[in-house]
C-alpha cells in the first residue's frame, strides 16, 4: 500500500537548461491517487523514479533517437547517466505529504540506487 511519499528534483544542463521531474504527484502537484493508496510507497522509491525520469529526459534530448526503456539500457550507460544526474541534482520537494527544499548528496543517492538495482 502506498504511504503518500513524493519527490521533485531538478538539474540545470549547460545545453538544455532546466530539467525537472517528479514522482508520486499528479498534474496539479497533489499526491497521485492509485487503487493501492496515494503517492509512492517510500521516499527512496520516489527519489529513484525522479532520477530515472531526469536521466531519460536528458538522454532523449541529447540522443534524439527512438525511446529505449531504462531496463533495456546497458549498465554502463545507466551508471553514467545516474552519476551525471546526481552530481547536479537539487531536491525541490521530498517526503511524506510534502516538505520544503532539501538536498541529498550524490554519494547517498548512489548508495540507494545501487541497493535498488541489486
- What span, in angstroms and rounded, lies between the C-alpha atoms of 114 and 14? 27
CB 27 within 8 A of CB 35: no
Query: Which three three-digit cell numbers place residue 112?
Result: 540507494
- What span, in angstroms and rounded, lies between the C-alpha atoms of 97 and 112? 21
CB 98 within 8 A of CB 25: no
Q: Report pLDDT digits (tens) over 24-55.
A: 888 888 888 888 788 888 888 899 999 999 99
pLDDT over 70 at 2, yes or no: no
Which of the pair, 89 or 107, is modelled with greater confidence? 89
Nearest Cα to 93, choosing from 53, 36, 47?
47
pLDDT, residue 54, reads 93
pLDDT, residue 75, reads 92
Q: Delimit the domains of the chain by residue range.
A: 5-117
pLDDT over 80 at 89, yes or no: yes
Q: CA 115 → CA 21, 29, 53, distances in Å?
A: 22, 28, 18
Which of the pair, 93 or 104, is modelled with greater confidence? 93
- DSSP code string of 4-71: -EEEEEEEEETTTEEEEEEESB-TTSSBPEETTEESBS-HHHHHHHHHHHHHHHHHHHHH-S----GG
Round the average pLDDT of the chain to a whole number and report it.
Answer: 81
Amino acid at each position: 500500500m502506498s504511504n503518500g511519499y513524493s519527490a521533485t528534483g531538478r538539474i540545470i544542463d549547460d545545453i538544455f537548461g532546466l530539467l525537472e521531474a517528479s514522482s508520486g504527484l499528479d498534474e496539479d502537484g497533489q499526491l497521485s491517487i492509485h487503487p493501492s493508496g496515494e503517492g509512492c510507497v517510500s521516499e527512496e522509491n520516489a527519489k529513484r523514479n525522479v532520477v530515472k525520469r531526469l536521466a531519460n529526459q536528458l538522454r532523449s534530448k541529447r540522443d534524439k533517437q527512438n525511446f529505449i526503456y531504462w531496463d533495456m539500457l546497458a549498465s554502463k550507460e545507466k551508471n553514467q547517466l545516474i552519476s551525471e544526474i546526481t552530481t547536479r541534482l537539487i531536491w525541490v520537494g521530498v517526503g511524506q505529504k510534502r516538505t520544503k527544499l532539501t538536498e541529498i548528496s550524490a554519494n547517498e543517492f548512489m548508495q540507494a540506487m545501487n541497493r535498488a538495482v541489486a
